[in-house]
Structure formats: structure tokens, C-alpha cells
Amino acid sequence: MSKSELFRRCDFHMHSVLSPCARQDMELSAILDICGERGIEYLGITDHITADTDTGILWQTRCELSNLHPSMKVYLGCEADVLDVGKHTVTDEMRKKLDFIAVAANHFSNPFVVRPDRHDRRAIAQHYLRMFEYACSLDFADVVVHPLYVMPGTHDPALLNLLEDHEMIEVISQAKENGVAIEISPRSLVPEQMRFRMRFLGLCKKAGVKFSIGSDAHQIEMAGMTSLVAPIIEELGIVDDDIWLPESER
């Protein structure tokens, strides 16, 4: 099978101005324009839905999209939070009305997200894994974004090296069974997390999970820049069949 080029045409992780952390240049029309120029054919809008977000922003986006004429297929998603094991921010309405649901399980700088309650490094690493495991177990989850990635300013990234292959494989096989895709984004290229990232993604590839490709753009320069992950795609031998697309495209 030839190597994947589909990843260059997908961007399933995008923050509009309705995400408080996104820059003001992330207007929907600007996003659609630049992603079109950059060859994106499948685009997902995924604003943050955390514990205190008014989910009305999602339907506002749906309404705005209906007035635009994009050159690509546009899907309305969200980046929901796992707040703790057993607790998430996805409502029934979101499950019914969104085109896909992406979940983050490691926003530890968000005050609503429960931090590891112990100080030893192995326990912190296991908390990351348990949060990720819960995200993979959710029956409505389509994608887990930036899985087992250490957000800047939260923990020492090296502690994830304490996770063993066999415990990750157990969780990854749950993701596979539940049809949950694992994200590859430009965050995956952060040098200090690269060694762990390639080990983790290698296990995902071996298990046969699908990979969702997203820029996680918060500013217009990054929108549609999924070609940046080419070195990872190449190194892992990811082919088009390994790339996740929303249900309606499969």
C-alpha cells in the first residue's frame, strides 16, 4: 500500500474565536479560506467545552457555517474535557447534534480538571494513563486529542517514560475496541516528549487504532498545517487506511 497522503488533507482539531484561548484572527470565514488554500478537504471545528462553557457556542458555529460556502467538508465537533475519571463535559444534546466528539484528558492547567493527588512521579504518570483510559472508554468518544501529552507548565514530561508498554497496550486496545481514534498533531513533535511519543504512537499503530490528524490551531498561521506531522507519519509507516474520518466518510 502506498504511503499516506490523506493526512495532509485533514484537519480535525481547530479552535475558532469562540474558544477563549484562541486568537481573534480565528474567525470561521478566515479558517475556511486558509484551510482551502492549504489543501484541506476534511475540516473539523473543535472549540473547547469545559465545565463552565456555554454549549450555545456550538450551535452558534453551526448557524454561522450554514451561511458560509466552504470548499471542503466541514464537521462540527468539540474538544470536551475529561474532568476526572468518571466525569466529563459532554451533554446529551452534544451527543445528538455534533458530527463528532473529541475528548481531552490532560488539561491539567484547567482548574476544573482534577490533578494527580500524589507527588511521586510514577503515580502522576498513572493518573495520566487512567484519565486517558476513561476517555477511551466513553461510548460517544470519536477522538482523543493530544493523548498522554504533557501540557506546558503542568508536569515534567519525562515522567511519562515511567509508563510501561504493557499498561499502555491494555488501554490502547480498549480504544481500538471502542473505535476511538488517537490524535497526531504538531504537538506530537515537541522535542522533549518525542521519545515517549514515538513509543506510544508505535504501540497504537501496532494495535491497529485509527489516527485523527489535527493542527490544534489557535491562531491562523497554524490552521490547516497538518503536513507538519509528515515525519511522524513516515516513521510509523502510517497509510491512508490508518487515518480516521468521521462516520459518514467511511
Binding residues for Zn ion, rule: CB under 5 A, are: 79, 104, 216
Measured from the CB atom, the residue of 142 and 216 that comes closer to Zn ion is 216
CA–CA dist 209, 220 (Å, integer): 30
Measured from the CB atom, the residue of 104 and 233 that comes closer to Zn ion is 104
Residue 3 CB, shortest distance to Zn ion, in Å, is 27
Residue 146 CB, shortest distance to Zn ion, in Å, is 6
Measured from the CB atom, the residue of 104 and 213 that comes closer to Zn ion is 104
Residue 47 CB, shortest distance to Zn ion, in Å, is 9
Residue 24 CB, shortest distance to Zn ion, in Å, is 17
Residue in the block written with cell 463528532: 100
Measured from the CB atom, the residue of 176 and 218 that comes closer to Zn ion is 218
Residue 9 CB, shortest distance to Zn ion, in Å, is 20
Measured from the CB atom, the residue of 143 and 236 that comes closer to Zn ion is 143
Residue 214 CB, shortest distance to Zn ion, in Å, is 8
Measured from the CB atom, the residue of 112 and 207 that comes closer to Zn ion is 112
